[in-house]
Structure 1
Amino acid sequence: MVDYEVTVNTGNRVKATTSNNVHIKLVGTDGESDRTLLKSTVIFRGSVSKYTVSCPNSLGELVLIELEKRPSKILPEDSWFADKVEIKSPENDVYIFPVYCWISDRKTHRYREGKALRIFEESHSLGQYAREQELSQRSADYDWDFYAPGVPYTIKTDDPSTLPDEVKFSFTKKTQFAFTAATALLELKLKGLVDNQENWKNLDDINDVFRNKDTPLSDYVQEQWKEDWLFAYQFLNGVNPNLIQRCKTLPENFPVTDDMVVIPDGSNLSNELQQGNVYLCDYKNLDGMPANTVQGKQQYLTAPLVLLHKRQDDKLMPIAIQLKQTPAEDNPIFFPTDSTYDWLTAKIFVRSADFSEHQLNTHLLRTHLLAEVFAVSLLRNLPMVHPLYKLLISHTRYTLQINELARDALIGPTGLFTQFFASGGEALTKILERSLSSITYRSLCIPDNIADRDLQDVPNFYYRDDGLQLWSIIFKYVQGVIQYYYKSDDEVQQDSELQTWIGDIFEHGFLSQSQTEIPQRFTTVPELTKFVTMVMFTSSCQHAAVNSGQYDYGGWMPNTPVTLQRAPPIEKGTTSEATMLETLPPINVTAQGMAAVWLLSRQSLDFVPLGNYPETHYIEETPCQLQMDFKKELDMLAFTINNRNKSLEIPYTYLDPKNVENSVAI
């Protein structure tokens, strides 16, 4: 007889303990063990339990294990969460089997040894069978669902509670999320704000919405929100840094001339355009979109054009705003030299348009919905033993559940967008459809995106500076891992699971739209490396950049109105403080909008920063070392960013790696 030493690591999760009988079978290249009961009445959460499995002869190289859990006659069936199983063979070889799954039924569950294997490397018949069975079950568990025309497909599920256990919130996350949402709503109810449909009488009263929930930056924004420099600064380092672009030729529908604008230091608009000192923000994506009706009242959503100028002191300042796309007498161009409330009202309409463009295109589509597509395709097409599964699975954590919650509480029939926001209702899916039809692969890759917008040298652009460094660090890590597993382009082309993964993404995420230039298959190692880098960056860094500052810049409602109640002015000299207050959303809509951005900006207690991997999926020395090197480089970048921020009036913290979550989880 020979003995195998079996060590079972149970996850330290709420309800991970099992009192059921757990059986194990070891399968090797030369045979398999009997189905063996692990001798313990209770396996406790967070425990490390040791057992012995005896066999008549050596099993050869271990290929997989089978786990079964069955209730005893007197105890009910429960769920058990195993992290991993380590086995020491009689030959003193150590095998690690990643599990990281809930076992809640009486079925046989097979888990592969931790060494990554591509499909064309499978040589053991049971290994091949286990691979096929795993993907067959996953295809059923993670099916696609049609959401709306022109919009990426979603996970098929009735509600968040019916998602597979592995992708649900932890008990900590679920409890904190529900408590945070409930306390915010209760506070608003106690203050009598939820049902108050009156307009604001003065701006100071807005302080009472969330008096004790301000951040240092939200307070600063409240003080400075009328200032032109802060208005312009947000296009670079606010929550929507993806719209601004250098402008060397004015669009034909934005007829600003030299004599209309004042350029400091004796220059003029034509010269500044030639010198590359003029920038454009164009909200054409919102043009013609039907604004929502809120509480029985028609709302207004514009599609502005904004012209910005970089002065000699490197400060970016707005110089012209047109609130609708088509030039006309009733569509005046506003300038800083106009009356105080004409200019302020124009900026308010821009900020409200930016809220809709940011939330639906930059935030929802380009991070949440794409991250969901990446996650569903990964779970459907790549088994746990695949090297790309091991690389990317940590970057899918909680994404499916947070998106299901968003479809219910934010964009569903009774969601906040539908009830209270200008771009809710009919406009919502139209904006998503238009946004997806204009998306490009290059726009999802920050080096290409910055180059295409010609923003390589605009000063004080911290999103660009930190984002490019993060992309470089992620790329280096991904490149190292992929080149370790794929030694040639031919091996990439041979991997049918990999090709199915990208094909599924192209079909269900980008709706087979070839103009996006999203790969439909991979032919080279560099192609694969770039795409995987984009997936990781989108699911972590890009989401952090466009999500984490929502309350900082939206906690003071006039800076980011979720809707507007009056039509944009059609002639100058018709605005005042009174018309501004009538234009802003009423009290209850303000409260709901502020509560939403506050909730969505909260960091979870079980937040996992980029580069931290609590689950052990790799066992080979090289990828493990690459993972450690990745973490070290991120720590160095965090140190550099922190030092830079000490000298900034507004520290840019959203892409500090310590503040970037591994996945789209909020």
Structure 2
Amino acid sequence: MFGIFDKGQKIKGTVVLMPKNVLDFNAITSIGKGGVLDAAGNLIGGVTSIVGGVVDTATAFLGRNVSMQLISATKTDASGKGLVGKETFLSKHLPQLPTLGARQDAFSIFFEYDANFGIPGAFYIRNYTQAEFFLVRVTLEDIPNRGSVQFDCNSWVYNFKSYKNNRIFFTNDAYLPSQTPAPLNHFREEELQNLRGDGTGERKEWDRIYDYDVYNDLGNPDGGDALVRPILGGSSTHPYPRRVRTGRKPTRKDLKSEKPGAIYVPRDENFGHLKSSDFLMYGIKSLSQDVLPLLQSVIFDLNFTPNEFDSFDEVRGLFEGGIKLPTDILSQISPLPALKEILRTDGEQALKFPPPQVIRVSKSAWNTDEEFGREMLAGVNPNVIRLLQEFPPKSTLDATVYGDQNSTITKEHLETNLGDITVEEALDGKRLFLLDYHDAFMPYLERINLNAKAYATRTILFLQDDGTLKPLAIELSLPHSNGVQYGAESKVFLPAHEGVESTIWMLAKAHVIVNDSCYHQLMSHWLNTHAVMEPFIIATNRHLSVLHPINKLLFPHYRDTININGLARQALINAGGIIEQTFCPGPNSIEISSAVYKNWVFTDQALPADLIKRGLAVEDPSSPHGLRLVIEDYPYAVDGLEIWDAIKAWVQDYVSLYYPTDEAVQKDTEIQKWWKEAVEKGHGDLKDKPWWPKMQTVQDLVQSCSIIIWTASALHAAVNFGQYPYGGYILNRPTISRRFIPEPGTPEYDEMVKSPQKAYLRTITPKYQTLVDLSVIEILSRHASDEVYLGENNNKFWTSDTRAVQAFQKFGSKLTEIEGKITKRNNESSLRNRTGPVQLPYTLLLRSSEEGLTFRGIPNSISI
């Protein structure tokens, strides 16, 4: 492109970037010190390798080989597109520029300019080096009639030959499609087309293409029948949200399944190379690939330590003394940098875990009935319990397939512990509650119990006058011995606190918690946050330009999610992965989540709708939030409603800046395409459901964006960051059940009478699986050092709209106010569910946090 400027005038710019060589010089050592690339990308001169990590040499090299061209937002060429200026290379390296973050480099650049060019609205950039760099931001100064112009970039830029079209970046201005300056319209659509791709080929490392695919990469048919898994998505049998398309080659044995291998993630979705989440998530990969085989050899091959805990004290020993390992095993683990902190090897011991918060005050309070009930309201899985509205509970399973699956709990069972109150009176007073996993697990129990000994469970609880929940009965059900088509065979267990009956009651509670732990990890956590969010992220990148105000609203809540989901498919939820190893459903794990997804409803993900659906709140205009809670001391709901209202108010304030009428939403072409594709492709297996918002009104847009933000932030925080604090003590939250309740006259029954602790430990998760589980959930419960929390934005230049900035500041102030209210509630002794017998205040919905394992903090996004 020939220059169009009068060389007498210049615009000064500052370009901030992070060279790949900040942490990795390997990619440019082949170029050589003093070498440069010509316009074709060929090396000219320079043969000496870069040694010693000389940043000055590397940055100077970048400066000579990165060019930019400004694009006008106000002046067009003959074709009607914005004028494109002369190619200009980065100039002076500015190593001492203040305000730069660690490892960031700044360069000056000077563009020739005249008044006929108008105001820049975008720029092209070309990288002529062979190494990619991370472009942070660009600032142009002293633009006539505008002043400074900011470009918030945050993107990897590869060699220009990697792209079909030049890389383009836009200013931080926000425009609806109809309000975009005409000279930028072509470029806005062209960039979206680049992000959509053509749906063909295998994705490469440098690609930035967002497309949809089914979950056809969890299994490995070529590895044998044991690694075959059903394809999730694309069928009524196994519906599922979509994931990012990779385009890998099919397996030999199943052409519809992809070969396992490197997981493609659009390049800008990868963790930043300075992010401590790299350490956290690659810690999981190291666990999967390096440490677990070593632990298996220690426990199973070398018989160095038995795979059974013999006492509760031995379990607590994981936090007090750790497990000492042979020197040769330690020598293999110690060099793995990603695991040094997690495994805490000190030359004499390994696998010493921090004490979980649930036993820091009391070593035994976890085993009380009050704590059992409290964790349904303030634990890591607080959004499943529901009001019991009919008695006995009925199954929704198809009776022609599963026979009679209705509950066998009777009034007599309940009234044993109801005192003077009848079941009818308790139902009328909304004082009976149900934790029901029967229908979720029963269809899979025959398969699950090929390798485990699990029940489908129902638990009924009573709301006492002091606001706590008292368990009344637990029903444990198995498929009929003649086949599940003949219904269920169920037993009902009642509370007991003395003798062998108390041990049986403790085991019954353990079976309930195994159901709860598995449902939590597979459905409440993975499905209802990670998996359902990915289609919205894909659709946003495909159809909402970075100039679109709704893109700017949602973008912070997508950070790292596609990447974490890809890593999960590699090491956590894949065939033979960590979830299948450590949770009761084993090879059936993710398939069960597909069955639950059939009943997922987008609009019910709004907290008020969820509480109403579960019977735990009723509409009441005179009450705060327009709802009256059935259980007043319900920490997750009380704190969550305040967070929900703050999110919705922020979204309402922001959206109203750009959409004065419903017609503005209807005529927004990008919004309509975004929503249509998110529903019809991203969640295509549920596309015909009537509950989807039609995206015809401002309130449709506000509600939908609020649900997306709530799911990515507060909901995920509530079900994620308590995993280790509650589940790190495996006695409190076992993940596997290996024995049914012993029958009188059996050796297991005699052992239970003689040693209740051994009976419990032989029933729940064994030692190896415990070590794996604790290692993983400790990582997942940590916050990264550069985490960005709700109400914060790590980029002060996220928008040039001062009205939006002011509304966002108001949102942040509201969240700070809510933190104070939560802290005050946690100090009110009358609210017994806030801390419970374990004396663990409910802090999961405090929005701010420090780095590490804190049991608090609401990140903007699902970033771990």
**CA 1:473 to 1:532, structure 2 compared with 1: closer, same or farther past 3 Å?**
same
Which residues of 2 match residues 168-179 of structure 1 at below 5 A?
A: 168-171=270-273, 172=275, 173-179=277-283
Provide the secondary structure at the position in 2 that maps to 1:606. coil
Q: Which moved more, 1:476-485 or 1:527-536?
A: 476-485
* 1:310 corresponds to: 463
* 2:178 corresponds to: 120
**CA 1:81 to 1:415, structure 2 compared with 1: closer, same or farther past 3 Å?**
same
* 2:211 corresponds to: 143
Task: Tell whether 2:539 aligns with 1:377.
Answer: yes
Counterpart of 2:268, as a letter, is E
* 2:409 corresponds to: 256
* 8 Å CA contact 2:847, 2:858 repeated in 1: yes
Counterpart of 2:492, as a letter, is I
Task: Tell whether 2:580 aligns with 1:418.
Answer: yes
Q: Which moved more, 1:452-461 or 1:339-348?
A: 452-461
| Displacement after TM superposition at 1:186 (Å) | 5.4
* 8 Å CA contact 2:558, 2:862 repeated in 1: yes
Q: Which moved more, 1:145-154 or 1:544-553?
A: 145-154
Provide the secondary structure at the position in 1 that maps to 2:360. helix
Q: CA separation in 2, counterparts of 1:350 and 1:431?
A: 17
Task: Tell whether 2:95 aligns with 1:26.
Answer: no
Partner residue of 1:8 out of 14, 27, 37: 14
- Give a deviation string over 1:160-203, Cα, whole Å, max 9, x none: 66423311112232134435775898598499457666333222
Provide the secondary structure at the position in 2 that maps to 1:385. coil
Q: CA separation in 2, counterparts of 1:24 and 1:660?
A: 38
* 8 Å CA contact 2:241, 2:685 repeated in 1: no
| Displacement after TM superposition at 1:13 (Å) | 8.1
Task: Tell whether 2:372 aligns with 1:231.
Answer: yes
Provide the secondary structure at the position in 1 that maps to 2:190. helix
Q: CA separation in 1, counterparts of 2:378 and 2:580?
A: 28
**CA 1:411 to 1:314, structure 2 compared with 1: closer, same or farther past 3 Å?**
same
**CA 1:442 to 1:221, structure 2 compared with 1: closer, same or farther past 3 Å?**
farther
Which residues of 2 match residues 302-381 of structure 1 at below 5 A?
A: 302-324=455-477, 330-337=489-496, 339-381=501-543
Q: CA separation in 2, counterparts of 1:249 and 1:13?
A: 63
Q: CA separation in 2, counterparts of 1:217 and 1:443?
A: 31
Which residues of 2 match residues 258-657 of structure 1 at below 5 A?
A: 258-261=411-414, 262-263=416-417, 265-283=419-437, 284-290=439-445, 298-324=451-477, 330-337=489-496, 339-425=501-587, 427-455=588-616, 456-513=629-686, 516-519=689-692, 521-568=694-741, 574=749, 576=753, 577=756, 578-615=758-795, 616-647=797-828, 648=835, 649-657=839-847
Counterpart of 2:842, as a letter, is Y
Provide the secondary structure at the position in 1 that maps to 2:156. strand
| Displacement after TM superposition at 1:222 (Å) | 4.6
**CA 1:219 to 1:423, structure 2 compared with 1: closer, same or farther past 3 Å?**
farther
Q: CA separation in 2, counterparts of 1:105 and 1:153?
A: 31
- Give a deviation string over 1:562-593, Cα, whole Å, max 9, x none: 11112355789955424433212222122212
**CA 1:240 to 1:165, structure 2 compared with 1: closer, same or farther past 3 Å?**
same
Provide the secondary structure at the position in 1 that maps to 2:364. helix
- Give a deviation string over 1:476-504, Cα, whole Å, max 9, x none: 11111111111111111112221221222
**CA 1:161 to 1:582, structure 2 compared with 1: closer, same or farther past 3 Å?**
closer
| Displacement after TM superposition at 1:623 (Å) | 0.7
Greater RCO structure (CA 8 Å; 6+ sep): 1
**CA 1:487 to 1:92, structure 2 compared with 1: closer, same or farther past 3 Å?**
closer
| Displacement after TM superposition at 1:446 (Å) | 0.2
* 8 Å CA contact 1:291, 1:298 repeated in 2: no
Provide the secondary structure at the position in 2 that maps to 1:305. strand
| Displacement after TM superposition at 1:152 (Å) | 1.2
* 2:619 corresponds to: none
* TM-score (norm. length: structure 1): 0.91
Larger Rg: 2
Counterpart of 1:332, as a letter, is K
Q: CA separation in 1, counterparts of 2:745 and 2:491?
A: 7
| Displacement after TM superposition at 1:320 (Å) | 0.5
| Displacement after TM superposition at 1:130 (Å) | 1.4
* 8 Å CA contact 2:453, 2:737 repeated in 1: yes
- Give a deviation string over 1:382-432, Cα, whole Å, max 9, x none: 11111111111111111111111111111112311223421121x223311
Provide the secondary structure at the position in 2 that maps to 1:298. coil
* 2:311 corresponds to: 202
| Displacement after TM superposition at 1:662 (Å) | 0.7
**CA 1:180 to 1:208, structure 2 compared with 1: closer, same or farther past 3 Å?**
farther
**CA 1:594 to 1:218, structure 2 compared with 1: closer, same or farther past 3 Å?**
farther
**CA 1:246 to 1:569, structure 2 compared with 1: closer, same or farther past 3 Å?**
farther
Counterpart of 2:599, as a letter, is S
Provide the secondary structure at the position in 2 that maps to 1:613. coil
Provide the secondary structure at the position in 1 that maps to 2:819. helix
Provide the secondary structure at the position in 1 that maps to 2:821. helix
Q: CA separation in 2, counterparts of 1:41 and 1:622?
A: 35
Provide the secondary structure at the position in 2 that maps to 1:501. helix
Q: CA separation in 2, counterparts of 1:568 and 1:33?
A: 77
Which residues of 2 match residues 22-171 of structure 1 at below 5 A?
A: 22-28=66-72, 29-30=74-75, 31-40=83-92, 45-71=103-129, 77-106=131-160, 108-125=166-183, 127-140=184-197, 141-147=209-215, 148=232, 149-157=238-246, 162-171=264-273
* 8 Å CA contact 2:408, 2:490 repeated in 1: no
Q: CA separation in 1, counterparts of 2:464 and 2:843?
A: 25
**CA 1:276 to 1:289, structure 2 compared with 1: closer, same or farther past 3 Å?**
same
Task: Tell whether 2:444 aligns with 1:246.
Answer: no
| Displacement after TM superposition at 1:351 (Å) | 0.2
Q: Which moved more, 1:549-558 or 1:576-585?
A: 576-585
* 8 Å CA contact 1:215, 1:552 repeated in 2: yes
* 2:338 corresponds to: none
Q: CA separation in 2, counterparts of 1:520 and 1:247?
A: 29
* 8 Å CA contact 2:539, 2:677 repeated in 1: yes
**CA 1:123 to 1:5, structure 2 compared with 1: closer, same or farther past 3 Å?**
closer
Q: CA separation in 2, counterparts of 1:502 and 1:417?
A: 33
Specify every segment of 5 or more residues in structure 1 that has no aligned partner in the other structure, as ranges. Answer: none
| Displacement after TM superposition at 1:136 (Å) | 1.6
Q: Which moved more, 1:115-124 or 1:233-242?
A: 115-124
- Give a deviation string over 1:49-83, Cα, whole Å, max 9, x none: 44332224342233322222223xxxx54424232
| Displacement after TM superposition at 1:511 (Å) | 2.6
Provide the secondary structure at the position in 1 that maps to 2:150. strand
Q: CA separation in 1, counterparts of 2:362 and 2:734?
A: 14
**CA 1:409 to 1:77, structure 2 compared with 1: closer, same or farther past 3 Å?**
closer
Over the residues paired in the alignment, what is the CA RMSD in angstroms? 2.9
- What is the number of residues matched between the two proteins? 658
* 8 Å CA contact 1:286, 1:357 repeated in 2: no
| Displacement after TM superposition at 1:87 (Å) | 3.9
**CA 1:461 to 1:169, structure 2 compared with 1: closer, same or farther past 3 Å?**
same
Counterpart of 1:566, as a letter, is R
Counterpart of 1:662, as a letter, is N
Q: CA separation in 2, counterparts of 1:288 and 1:233?
A: 29
Q: CA separation in 2, counterparts of 1:268 and 1:152?
A: 44
* 8 Å CA contact 1:540, 1:660 repeated in 2: yes
| Displacement after TM superposition at 1:462 (Å) | 0.9
* 2:25 corresponds to: none
* 2:336 corresponds to: none
